[in-house]
Chains A and B, each alone.
Chain A
Amino acid sequence: MTTLEKNPTPVREDMPLSGPRLPAYAPLLAVVAAIAVGGALALVLGAGVVAAAFLAIVAFVVLLPLWSRIVEGKRSAVDRLVAALVWVALLAAIVPLVSLIWTVVSKGAPALSADFFTYSMRSVFGDAQGGIYHALIGTVLVTIAATIISVPIGIFTAIYLVEYGTGSRLARSITFLVDVMTGIPSIVAGLFAYALFVLFFGPGVRMGFGGSVALSLLMIPVVVRSTEEMLKLVPGELREAAYALGVPKWRTITKVVLPTAMSGIVTGVTLAIARVIGETAPLLIIAGKTDSVNFNLFDERMATLPVFIYYSYTQPGLPASAGHERAWGAALVLIAIVMILNVLARVIGKAFAPKTGR
Chain B
Amino acid sequence: MAKSIDVSDLDIYYGDFLAVQGVNMTIRARSVTAFIGPSGCGKSTYLRSLNRMHEVIPGARVEGKIVVDGQDLYGNGVDPVAVRRQIGMVFQRPNPFPTMSIYDNVLAGNRLNAKKMKKSEADTIVERSLKGANLWGEVKDRLGKPGMGLSGGQQQRLCIARAIAVEPEVLLMDEPCSALDPISTSAIEDLIHELKSQYTIVIVTHNMQQAARVSDETGFFNLKGAGQPGHLVEFNPTEKVFANPDNEATEAYISGRFG
Could you list which residues of chain A lie within 8 angstroms of chain B, going by C-beta atoms? 166-167, 235, 237-248, 251-252, 255-256, 259-260, 262, 354-358
Contacting pair A235 B95 (CB below 8 A): yes
**Is B202 part of the contact surface with A, judged by Cβ < 8 Å?**
no
A-B contact count (CB 8 A): 90
* CB-based contact A247/B58 at 8 Å: no
Bound-complex Cα distance A251 to B108 (A): 11
* A167: contacting residue among B58, B162, B163, CB under 8 A: B58
Cross-chain contact A246 with B81 (CB below 8 angstroms): yes
Complex formed: what's the CA distance from A251 to B53 in Å?
A: 16
Instruction: Give Cα A247 to B112, complex, Å.
Output: 6
Distance to closest chain B CB from A350 (angstroms): 14
How far, in Å, is A253 (CB) from chain B's closest CB?
Answer: 11
Q: Considering the complex of A and B, which 10 residue pairs feature the smallest CB-CB distances, nearest first?
A: A246-B85, A354-B98, A245-B109, A244-B89, A237-B95, A358-B149, A246-B84, A259-B99, A247-B112, A356-B148
The answer, among B112, B145, B149, for a CB contact under 8 Å with A255, is B112
A247 pairs with B113, CB closer than 8 A: yes
Asked whether, in the complex, the Cβ of B166 is within 8 Å of the Cβ of A245, the reply is yes
Q: Is the Cβ of B99 less than 8 Å from the Cβ of A357?
A: no
In chain B, positions 79-126 with a C-beta closer than 8 Å to chain A are 81-86, 88-89, 91, 93, 95-99, 108-109, 111-114
Is A251's CB under 8 angstroms from B113's CB? Answer: yes
Query: Quick check: is B56 within 8 A (CB to CB) of the other chain?
Result: yes
Q: Give the CA-CA distance A242 to B163 in the complex, in Å.
A: 10
Q: Is the CB of B113 within 8 A of A357?
A: no
Given the known A-B contacts A247-B109, A251-B113, are A240 and B95 also in contact in the complex, defined by CB atoms under 8 Å? yes
Is A358's CB under 8 angstroms from B166's CB?
no
Task: List B contacts of A245 (CB < 8 A).
Answer: 84-85, 88, 108-109, 112-113, 162-163, 166
Q: Give min CB distance, B104 to chain A, whole Å.
A: 10
> A179 → chain B, closest Cβ, in Å?
23
Give the docked Cα–Cα distance between A248 and B56 (Å). 12
Question: Would A248 and B97 count as touching, CB distance under 8 A?
Answer: no
A sample of 9 more A-B contacts (CB under 8 A), given A244-B51, A252-B112, is A245-B84, A245-B88, A245-B112, A245-B162, A256-B112, A355-B146, A356-B148, A357-B145, A358-B145
* A-B residue pairs in contact (CB < 8 Å), sample of 25: A237-B91, A237-B93, A238-B98, A240-B53, A240-B89, A241-B91, A241-B96, A241-B162, A243-B53, A244-B91, A244-B163, A245-B84, A245-B88, A246-B83, A247-B81, A247-B108, A247-B109, A247-B113, A248-B81, A256-B99, A256-B112, A260-B97, A354-B98, A357-B145, A358-B149
How many B residues face the partner with a CB closer than 8 A? Answer: 34
Write the chain A residue with the least CB distance to B159. A241
Residues on the A chain within 8 Å of B96, using CB: 241
> Quick one: closest B residue to A242, CB to CB?
B112
By a CB distance below 8 angstroms, the chain B residues around A355 are 146, 148-149
Majority secondary structure, A binding face: helix
- Quick one: CB contact mask for B54-88 with A, threshold 8 Å, 1 for yes? 00101000000000000000000000011111101
B86 closest partner in A (C-beta):
A246
Known pairs A167-B58, A355-B146; A238 contacts B95 (CB<8 A): yes
Given A246-B113, A358-B149, answer yes or no on A240-B58 (Cβ-Cβ < 8 Å): no
Q: Which residues of A contact B84 (CB under 8 A)?
A: 243-246
B58 to chain A, nearest CB (A): 7
A235 CB contacts on chain B under 8 angstroms = 95
| A354 engages B113 (CB within 8 Å) | no
Q: What residues of B have a CB within 8 angstroms of the CB of A251 in the complex?
A: 112-114
Q: Which residue of A lies closest to B145 (CB)?
A: A358
> In the complex, which residues of chain A have a beta carbon less than 8 angstroms from the beta carbon of B162?
241, 245
- Distance between A324 CB and nearest chain B CB, rounded to angstroms: 51
Please measure, in the bound complex, the distance between the C-alpha atom of A358 and the C-alpha atom of B56, giving whole angstroms. Answer: 33
Among B86, B112, B149, B163, chain A packs the most CB atoms within 10 A around the CB of B112
From residue B52, how far is it (CB to closest CB) to chain A in Å?
9
Question: Which residues on the B side are within 8 Å of A354 (C-beta)?
Answer: 98-99, 146, 148
Q: Judging by beta carbons under 8 Å apart, are A356 and B98 in contact?
A: yes
The smallest beta-carbon distance between A132 and chain B, in angstroms, is 41
Q: When chains A and B are docked, how far (Å) is the Cα of A167 from the Cα of B98? A: 27
